[in-house]
Protein backbone atom coordinates (compact mmCIF):
# COMPACT_ATOMS: atom_id res chain seq x y z
CA UNK A 1 0.00 0.00 0.00
CA UNK A 2 1.39 3.40 -1.00
CA UNK A 3 0.49 7.04 -0.55
CA UNK A 4 -1.41 7.14 -3.86
CA UNK A 5 -3.65 4.29 -2.77
CA UNK A 6 -4.18 5.83 0.66
CA UNK A 7 -5.22 9.07 -1.01
CA UNK A 8 -7.66 7.23 -3.26
CA UNK A 9 -9.27 5.62 -0.21
CA UNK A 10 -9.53 9.03 1.46
CA UNK A 11 -11.07 10.49 -1.69
CA UNK A 12 -13.77 7.82 -1.59
CA UNK A 13 -14.54 8.68 2.03
CA UNK A 14 -14.67 12.38 1.20
CA UNK A 15 -17.00 11.72 -1.74
CA UNK A 16 -19.44 9.88 0.53
CA UNK A 17 -19.21 12.62 3.17
CA UNK A 18 -19.55 15.62 0.88
CA UNK A 19 -21.75 14.46 -2.02
CA UNK A 20 -20.47 16.98 -4.59
CA UNK A 21 -22.82 18.03 -7.39
CA UNK A 22 -21.41 17.38 -10.86
CA UNK A 23 -23.11 19.26 -13.71
CA UNK A 24 -22.73 17.34 -16.97
CA UNK A 25 -23.21 18.53 -20.51
CA UNK A 26 -22.85 15.10 -21.99
CA UNK A 27 -24.09 12.99 -24.85
CA UNK A 28 -27.62 11.66 -24.81
CA UNK A 29 -26.60 7.98 -25.05
CA UNK A 30 -24.85 7.89 -21.70
CA UNK A 31 -26.86 10.21 -19.49
CA UNK A 32 -28.62 7.48 -17.53
CA UNK A 33 -25.51 5.46 -16.69
CA UNK A 34 -23.63 8.68 -15.90
CA UNK A 35 -26.25 9.87 -13.44
CA UNK A 36 -26.72 6.43 -11.88
CA UNK A 37 -23.00 5.80 -11.38
CA UNK A 38 -22.51 9.23 -9.78
CA UNK A 39 -25.39 8.49 -7.42
CA UNK A 40 -24.08 5.00 -6.66
CA UNK A 41 -20.66 6.39 -5.71
CA UNK A 42 -22.17 9.15 -3.57
CA UNK A 43 -22.11 12.21 -5.86
CA UNK A 44 -25.12 14.23 -7.04
CA UNK A 45 -25.71 14.38 -10.82
CA UNK A 46 -27.28 17.26 -12.71
CA UNK A 47 -27.67 17.63 -16.48
CA UNK A 48 -28.79 20.65 -18.46
CA UNK A 49 -29.02 21.86 -22.05
CA UNK A 50 -29.24 25.61 -21.56
CA UNK A 51 -26.20 27.80 -20.90
CA UNK A 52 -28.09 30.40 -18.86
CA UNK A 53 -29.49 27.66 -16.63
CA UNK A 54 -26.00 26.19 -16.30
CA UNK A 55 -24.74 29.58 -15.17
CA UNK A 56 -27.45 29.68 -12.48
CA UNK A 57 -26.47 26.23 -11.26
CA UNK A 58 -22.72 26.87 -11.41
CA UNK A 59 -23.20 29.95 -9.24
CA UNK A 60 -25.43 28.13 -6.75
CA UNK A 61 -24.26 24.67 -5.83
CA UNK A 62 -21.95 23.02 -8.38
CA UNK A 63 -18.64 21.35 -7.52
CA UNK A 64 -17.50 20.40 -11.03
CA UNK A 65 -18.57 20.63 -14.67
CA UNK A 66 -18.19 17.95 -17.36
CA UNK A 67 -18.09 18.70 -21.08
CA UNK A 68 -18.53 15.61 -23.29
CA UNK A 69 -19.26 16.30 -26.99
CA UNK A 70 -20.37 12.74 -27.84
CA UNK A 71 -23.57 13.80 -29.62
CA UNK A 72 -22.58 17.42 -30.25
CA UNK A 73 -24.87 19.79 -32.14
CA UNK A 74 -24.16 23.40 -33.13
CA UNK A 75 -26.67 24.53 -30.49
CA UNK A 76 -25.14 22.37 -27.78
CA UNK A 77 -21.66 23.68 -28.58
CA UNK A 78 -22.91 27.22 -28.05
CA UNK A 79 -24.50 26.38 -24.68
CA UNK A 80 -21.43 24.40 -23.58
CA UNK A 81 -19.22 27.45 -24.25
CA UNK A 82 -21.42 29.54 -21.95
CA UNK A 83 -21.20 26.86 -19.26
CA UNK A 84 -17.40 26.62 -19.51
CA UNK A 85 -16.90 30.38 -19.43
CA UNK A 86 -19.14 30.68 -16.38
CA UNK A 87 -17.34 27.83 -14.65
CA UNK A 88 -14.05 29.72 -15.08
CA UNK A 89 -15.56 32.95 -13.80
CA UNK A 90 -16.92 31.37 -10.66
CA UNK A 91 -13.99 29.02 -10.09
CA UNK A 92 -15.70 25.67 -10.67
CA UNK A 93 -13.20 23.15 -12.09
CA UNK A 94 -14.20 21.50 -15.34
CA UNK A 95 -13.41 18.22 -17.10
CA UNK A 96 -13.09 17.77 -20.86
CA UNK A 97 -13.86 14.31 -22.27
CA UNK A 98 -12.97 14.66 -25.98
CA UNK A 99 -14.99 11.69 -27.31
CA UNK A 100 -14.06 10.82 -30.90
CA UNK A 101 -11.87 13.90 -31.32
CA UNK A 102 -9.55 13.31 -34.25
CA UNK A 103 -12.14 11.36 -36.18
CA UNK A 104 -14.85 14.03 -36.49
CA UNK A 105 -13.98 17.55 -37.63
CA UNK A 106 -16.53 19.73 -35.87
CA UNK A 107 -15.87 18.46 -32.37
CA UNK A 108 -12.13 18.41 -32.96
CA UNK A 109 -12.22 22.14 -33.66
CA UNK A 110 -14.63 22.72 -30.76
CA UNK A 111 -12.53 20.85 -28.19
CA UNK A 112 -9.31 22.43 -29.42
CA UNK A 113 -10.81 25.88 -28.88
CA UNK A 114 -12.01 24.91 -25.41
CA UNK A 115 -8.44 24.05 -24.37
CA UNK A 116 -7.80 27.77 -23.90
CA UNK A 117 -10.45 27.77 -21.15
CA UNK A 118 -8.21 25.93 -18.68
CA UNK A 119 -9.81 22.54 -18.05
CA UNK A 120 -8.70 21.05 -14.73
CA UNK A 121 -8.73 17.51 -16.10
CA UNK A 122 -8.86 15.91 -19.55
CA UNK A 123 -9.89 12.26 -19.91
CA UNK A 124 -9.62 10.36 -23.16
CA UNK A 125 -8.35 7.19 -24.77
CA UNK A 126 -5.02 7.16 -26.56
CA UNK A 127 -6.40 8.22 -29.96
CA UNK A 128 -8.33 11.11 -28.49
CA UNK A 129 -5.40 12.42 -26.45
CA UNK A 130 -3.06 12.16 -29.42
CA UNK A 131 -5.52 14.05 -31.61
CA UNK A 132 -6.23 16.71 -29.00
CA UNK A 133 -2.49 17.28 -28.60
CA UNK A 134 -2.27 17.86 -32.33
CA UNK A 135 -0.97 14.49 -33.50
CA UNK A 136 -2.85 12.50 -36.10
CA UNK A 137 -4.41 9.34 -34.75
CA UNK A 138 -6.64 6.69 -36.26
CA UNK A 139 -9.72 5.91 -34.20
CA UNK A 140 -12.77 3.80 -34.94
CA UNK A 141 -15.50 5.71 -33.16
CA UNK A 142 -15.16 5.78 -29.41
CA UNK A 143 -12.72 2.88 -29.11
CA UNK A 144 -9.00 3.50 -29.13
CA UNK A 145 -6.62 1.86 -31.58
CA UNK A 146 -3.53 3.42 -30.08
CA UNK A 147 -2.34 2.06 -26.82
CA UNK A 148 -2.62 4.46 -23.93
CA UNK A 149 1.10 4.20 -23.33
CA UNK A 150 1.91 5.31 -26.86
CA UNK A 151 -0.05 8.49 -26.16
CA UNK A 152 1.94 9.31 -23.01
CA UNK A 153 4.30 11.85 -24.60
CA UNK A 154 1.28 13.62 -26.13
CA UNK A 155 -0.50 13.51 -22.76
CA UNK A 156 2.48 15.13 -21.03
CA UNK A 157 2.63 17.86 -23.68
CA UNK A 158 -1.11 18.46 -23.40
CA UNK A 159 -0.85 18.72 -19.62
CA UNK A 160 2.06 21.11 -19.88
CA UNK A 161 0.40 23.41 -22.41
CA UNK A 162 -3.08 23.47 -20.83
CA UNK A 163 -2.30 23.14 -17.13
CA UNK A 164 -4.75 20.24 -16.88
CA UNK A 165 -4.15 16.83 -15.43
CA UNK A 166 -4.53 14.34 -18.29
CA UNK A 167 -5.97 10.86 -17.76
CA UNK A 168 -5.31 8.48 -20.66
CA UNK A 169 -7.50 5.41 -20.32
CA UNK A 170 -6.82 1.93 -21.64
CA UNK A 171 -5.95 -1.50 -20.23
CA UNK A 172 -3.54 0.49 -18.07
CA UNK A 173 -4.62 4.04 -17.30
CA UNK A 174 -2.04 6.82 -17.05
CA UNK A 175 -2.40 10.15 -15.24
CA UNK A 176 0.00 13.02 -15.74
CA UNK A 177 0.34 16.68 -14.86
CA UNK A 178 3.12 17.11 -17.40
CA UNK A 179 5.82 16.15 -14.88
CA UNK A 180 4.84 13.03 -12.92
CA UNK A 181 3.16 10.03 -14.48
CA UNK A 182 1.01 7.67 -12.43
CA UNK A 183 -0.26 4.31 -13.65
CA UNK A 184 -3.32 2.30 -12.66
CA UNK A 185 -3.90 -1.29 -13.68
CA UNK A 186 -7.37 -1.76 -12.22
CA UNK A 187 -10.26 -2.42 -14.61
CA UNK A 188 -11.73 -5.18 -16.76
CA UNK A 189 -12.39 -5.66 -20.50
CA UNK A 190 -16.14 -5.98 -19.86
CA UNK A 191 -16.15 -2.23 -19.13
CA UNK A 192 -15.78 -1.70 -22.91
CA UNK A 193 -18.79 -3.89 -23.66
CA UNK A 194 -21.35 -1.56 -22.01
CA UNK A 195 -22.10 1.85 -23.48
CA UNK A 196 -21.15 4.88 -21.46
CA UNK A 197 -18.72 3.34 -18.99
CA UNK A 198 -15.93 5.53 -20.36
CA UNK A 199 -18.09 8.65 -20.63
CA UNK A 200 -19.46 8.22 -17.11
CA UNK A 201 -15.86 7.95 -15.90
CA UNK A 202 -15.37 11.51 -17.14
CA UNK A 203 -18.21 12.69 -14.91
CA UNK A 204 -16.77 10.71 -12.03
CA UNK A 205 -13.47 12.51 -12.57
CA UNK A 206 -15.42 15.71 -11.91
CA UNK A 207 -16.57 14.32 -8.57
CA UNK A 208 -12.98 13.39 -7.73
CA UNK A 209 -11.78 16.92 -8.58
CA UNK A 210 -14.18 18.17 -5.93
CA UNK A 211 -12.72 16.06 -3.13
CA UNK A 212 -9.11 15.29 -4.06
CA UNK A 213 -5.92 17.10 -3.10
CA UNK A 214 -4.88 17.95 -6.67
CA UNK A 215 -6.04 17.35 -10.25
CA UNK A 216 -3.29 14.74 -10.65
CA UNK A 217 -4.46 12.81 -7.59
CA UNK A 218 -8.07 13.23 -8.76
CA UNK A 219 -7.11 11.58 -12.06
CA UNK A 220 -5.36 8.74 -10.25
CA UNK A 221 -8.23 8.24 -7.78
CA UNK A 222 -10.68 8.23 -10.69
CA UNK A 223 -8.77 5.47 -12.43
CA UNK A 224 -8.39 3.40 -9.27
CA UNK A 225 -11.93 3.66 -7.85
CA UNK A 226 -13.62 3.30 -11.24
CA UNK A 227 -11.42 0.43 -12.34
CA UNK A 228 -11.75 -1.38 -9.03
CA UNK A 229 -15.55 -1.10 -9.05
CA UNK A 230 -15.49 -2.43 -12.62
CA UNK A 231 -13.30 -5.41 -11.91
CA UNK A 232 -15.29 -6.38 -8.81
CA UNK A 233 -18.51 -6.10 -10.83
CA UNK A 234 -17.10 -8.22 -13.65
CA UNK A 235 -16.13 -10.90 -11.16
CA UNK A 236 -19.73 -10.98 -9.93
CA UNK A 237 -21.43 -10.65 -13.33
CA UNK A 238 -19.47 -11.83 -16.35
CA UNK A 239 -21.93 -10.75 -19.10
CA UNK A 240 -22.71 -7.17 -20.17
CA UNK A 241 -26.37 -6.88 -19.14
CA UNK A 242 -25.84 -8.05 -15.59
CA UNK A 243 -22.48 -6.23 -15.46
CA UNK A 244 -24.28 -2.90 -15.88
CA UNK A 245 -26.41 -3.69 -12.83
CA UNK A 246 -23.49 -5.03 -10.81
CA UNK A 247 -21.34 -2.00 -11.61
CA UNK A 248 -23.73 0.34 -9.80
CA UNK A 249 -24.16 -2.12 -6.93
CA UNK A 250 -20.41 -2.47 -6.56
CA UNK A 251 -19.84 1.29 -6.64
CA UNK A 252 -22.42 1.65 -3.88
CA UNK A 253 -20.78 -1.10 -1.83
CA UNK A 254 -17.15 -0.12 -2.39
CA UNK A 255 -15.29 0.47 0.87
CA UNK A 256 -12.09 2.38 1.62
CA UNK A 257 -10.76 -0.93 2.93
CA UNK A 258 -11.26 -2.58 -0.47
CA UNK A 259 -9.45 0.34 -2.08
CA UNK A 260 -6.53 -0.04 0.32
CA UNK A 261 -6.18 -3.74 -0.41
CA UNK A 262 -6.99 -3.87 -4.14
CA UNK A 263 -6.21 -0.56 -5.86
CA UNK A 264 -3.15 -0.85 -8.09
CA UNK A 265 -1.73 2.65 -8.39
CA UNK A 266 1.94 3.46 -8.78
CA UNK A 267 4.32 6.04 -10.14
CA UNK A 268 5.39 5.27 -13.68
CA UNK A 269 8.99 5.67 -14.74
CA UNK A 270 7.98 7.71 -17.78
Footprint of its own copies (CB under 8 A) = 21, 27-33, 35-36, 39-40, 44-50, 52-53, 56-57, 60-61, 70-76, 79, 100, 103-107, 140-143, 193-196, 239-242, 244-250, 252-253
Min dist CB 46 to its own copies, Å, is 4
Quick one: 151 or 246, whose CB is closer to its own copies?
246
Min dist CB 227 to its own copies, Å, is 17
Quick one: 136 or 269, whose CB is closer to its own copies?
136
Min dist CB 141 to its own copies, Å, is 4
Quick one: 2 or 73, whose CB is closer to its own copies?
73
Q: CB of 99 within 8 A of CB of 92?
A: no
Quick one: 46 or 150, whose CB is closer to its own copies?
46
Min dist CB 100 to its own copies, Å, is 8
Quick one: 193 or 264, whose CB is closer to its own copies?
193
Min dist CB 156 to its own copies, Å, is 28
What is the spatial distance between Cα 10 and Cα 13, in angstroms, rounded to a whole number?
5
Amino acid sequence: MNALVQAAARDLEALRARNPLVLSFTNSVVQQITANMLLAFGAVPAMLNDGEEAADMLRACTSALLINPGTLSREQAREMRIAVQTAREVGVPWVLDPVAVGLLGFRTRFCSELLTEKPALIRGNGSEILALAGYSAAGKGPESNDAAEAALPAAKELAATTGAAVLVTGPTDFATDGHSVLACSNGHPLMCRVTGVGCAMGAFAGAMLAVSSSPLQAAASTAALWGLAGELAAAAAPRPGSFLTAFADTADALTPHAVLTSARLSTFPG
